[in-house]
Each structure stands twice: as C-alpha cells, then as structure tokens.
Amino acid sequence: MSKERILLAYSGGLDTSIIIPWLKEHYDCDVVAMAGEVGIGVDQEALEKKALACGAEKIYVEDLTEEYITDYIYPTLKAGAVYEGKYLLGTSTARPVIAKRMVEIAKAEGCTAIAHGCTGKGNDQVRFELAIKALAPGMKIIAPWRTWDIRSRDEEIEYATARNIPVPVTKENNYSMDQNIWHLSHEGMDLEDPANEPKYDSLLHLMNTPEAAPDEAEYVELEFADGVPVRVNDVTGDVEMLTYLNELAGKHGVGIADIVENRLVGMKSRGVYETPGGTVLYAAHRELELLTLDRDTLHYKDLVSQKFAELVYNGLWFHPLREALSAFVDNTQKVVTGVVKLKLYKGNVTPAGTTSPYSLYQEELSTFNEDDVYNQGDATGFINLFGLPTAVVAQMRAANGMLEG
C-alpha cells in the first residue's frame, strides 16, 4: 500500500510548525506544505527551509495577494459587510482564497487528504473545511487539534522544543495572531478577560495608538469606479493602494476594533483587530453610497450587508446565497462612482467632501432658502395618506377605550 499524501495549510507559525512532524508520527504519509501569501511579505526562503526541516517533502509558497484583494476584499467592501458592527472580516475573507489554492495543489499533487492547524474552538476550521467541501467534495480532511492530546499553546511549545522546532512565540508572549494585507488580529492572553483594557502600546503592530498619532490632521482623497477603489491620492494599483492606505491610516491611529464577538461554534470570544486601510475604504465607500443610492435600495442593501457578513464569517463564501447576494450588490454599484475626501485625525475618519456624476443630491430640493421646485403644501396630503393607517388604529382604540392618557 502506497504512502498517504497529505497537503498541509502551512504558515510557519506555532500550530503548523508542529503539525508536520505530528502527521508523520501518526500517519504513514508524505506531507506537502502550502503557504498562502496574502500580503504580509513572507520570507519565502526561510519558510521553505523551515518546512523542509520540519519534515515536509516539499512546500508551495503562493502569492495570492492580488487575487485576495480583487476577488474577496472588494466584493465584501462593495457589500458593506461588517460582522456585528465592528469586524471587517479580515481573517474570514482570506481563508477561502487560501483554501481554493490548497484544493488546486492537492489535486495536482495527488493528495488524498488536506490538513489544517485550526483549533476545535475556532471559526477557521469551518471556513477551511466548507471551502474544501465546496471545491473538492469527498476530500479527506485532517484536523489535529480535534484529535491529538495537546490541549494548550503551552503544550504546543513544549512539543516543539522537544523536537528542536523553532517557534515564533514564547509562553510569555503567546497571543494568537493572524495577519494579511487587510488586517492583523490578536486573541488570547490578557484579552481573554473582557474587563481588561488591551495593552495597545505593545499590542499594535500596524499602527499608532490614537494618543501617539500626529497632532495635525491629514486629508486623503479616494476615487471609486463601480464601487471599487481605483485611486488613493496619487497611488493606483490594488496592492499599492491598500499598502499605502495601511501606512497612512496606521500613522493616524485609524482602524482599531476591540470586539467580543459571537463565534459560529457558539461561544463568545474577544479579539482586537487592526484594519487601518480597510477602515478608510469602508468609510469612503459608505459616503459615496449615501450620495448615489436611492433610499429604498440603500436601506435594503443594508439588510443584505448584514446577511453577507454572516455568510462570510461563517465560512460560506462559496455558497450559492453569497454568490446571489454579490450579484445584487454588483447591480447596486453601477452608480457608486466618484471621489471622496476624508480627514484622518487621532483615530477618527471624518468626511470632508464627496462628488459623483451619479449624485442624487439636488440642492434646490433640500435648501432652506427660497426655491421654485418644491411645493411645501404638498406635504399636507402626503402626511394625511401616509398617516392614514395610524389614524384608523387610533380611532379604533378610542372607540374601545384603549387610548393611553
């Protein structure tokens, strides 16, 4: 019987560093590692050296940054999807692009299984596995955290130390972090108690604290076409724009989110997210929609945004409903074209002017000055008809002694 061939989603971090030897100890297998580069600037040579030293037969380091931005971040941005009002879905959107490439490589390498380092308590196990099921139904999935005897990150460090595997954390500095070009997340340690204020001075990697941000505000101009950014100040190019915005917004302390969120697996968890550039893009996109979308479409899209966020958070990127909602969103974005100016100052993003050829704002309709286009007397009939159901209910209640007062 030939050896089993297993593809491992590999990051070089603590979990996946020890999974390679663990797989080889518990399965008669060869391990093919795959690292998805989604904009953090990985050291490919070091990653390859480490994976091979841990026992991998070979490793793929795949640059997915451009695809991640255009095919996953932009659809989510256009949808205005925010999970529970705070989380801009940085990890949630990155998992499906990585999983898609994992499946492609697993098929090309003749792998019989795909393994990942997600814990049994987290959302990422669902995101990876649902993507695999959608793209490679029947593929065997191995999740060591759900079967091995290791029960904590401290025990992982001990396991690695016993096998001379270098890991990038210590028992004293043991935050669980995930980073890509969109965000950086922090969980664990002192953050596990929601009563603790995060130690921002040492915690933040992508940005200043608002207190340490410059004392002078800075303006940024963003241009959109069909809901997608095409220029940030003088910078163009998807990767270049987001990289530039991360640096600019990070300098001004913009983009910190501290949230106690509802995980799909049922528990509440607490995390701190750094999303500097993304926070500015969301703010600019919203300003443009407020100018260009009619009331009913805008309000219905807000409902779609919440459902879209839930689907992405829950790992259902490749679900037919997410695809259908994106089709609706894309239709709304045909008029979301224009230029937005924002002011960045000590953690705040403030609108400073919006223009669009598709603007629905008409000054002559909304002005407080004299105009010749709006008959204020028309409001009497409108209110009478709009309020008719309320008046009828009130009459019924009065007739039956049900009115308060």
Residue ranges of the annotated binding site are: 9-17, 87, 92, 117, 119, 123-124, 127, 176, 185, 261, 273
C-alpha–C-alpha distance, residues 128 and 94, integer Å: 10
Instruction: Find where tokens 């286009």 sit.
Output: 373
Residue pair 18/117 in contact (Cβ under 8 Å)? The answer is no
Phi-psi region of 270 (alpha: psi -120 to 50; beta: other; left: phi over 0): beta
Q: How far apart are the first and last CA of the chain?
A: 85
Helices (H), 229-294: 238-251, 276-292
Q: What is the DSSP letter of 253?
A: T
Is position 372 annotated as part of the catalytic site?
no
Catalytic residue among 15, 30, 178, 238: 15
Backbone angles phi, psi at 39, to 5 degrees: 100, 20
Is position 295 annotated as part of the catalytic site?
no
Q: If you write DSSP's letter for every residue of 101-154 in order, what string do you get?
A: HHHHHHHHTT-SEEE----TTSSHHHHHHHHHHHHSTT-EEE-GGGTSS--SHH
89 Cβ neighbours under 8 A, 6+ residues apart = 76, 81, 82, 83, 309, 312, 313
Residue ranges of the annotated binding site for L-citrulline are: 87, 92, 123, 127, 176, 185, 261, 273
Catalytic residue among 124, 178, 305, 356: 124
Residue pair 239/39 in contact (Cβ under 8 Å)? The answer is yes
C-alpha–C-alpha distance, residues 44 and 322, integer Å: 33
Catalytic residue among 30, 176, 269, 326: 176
Is position 326 annotated as part of the catalytic site?
no
Catalytic residue among 30, 95, 238, 269: 95
Residue pair 168/13 in contact (Cβ under 8 Å)? The answer is yes
C-alpha–C-alpha distance, residues 115 and 102, integer Å: 10
Q: If you write DSSP's letter for every residue of 379-401 in order, what string do you get?
A: HHHHHHHHTHHHHHHHHHHHHTT
Residue 192: CB atoms within 10 A of its CB come to 11
Token digits of residue 358: 């598709």
C-alpha–C-alpha distance, residues 30 and 112, integer Å: 11
Instruction: Find where tokens 């790992």 sit.
Output: 315
Residue pair 340/354 in contact (Cβ under 8 Å)? The answer is yes
C-alpha–C-alpha distance, residues 78 and 98, integer Å: 21
Is position 95 annotated as part of the catalytic site?
yes
Residue ranges of the annotated binding site for ATP are: 9-17, 117
Q: Which residues are catalytic?
A: 15, 95, 124, 176
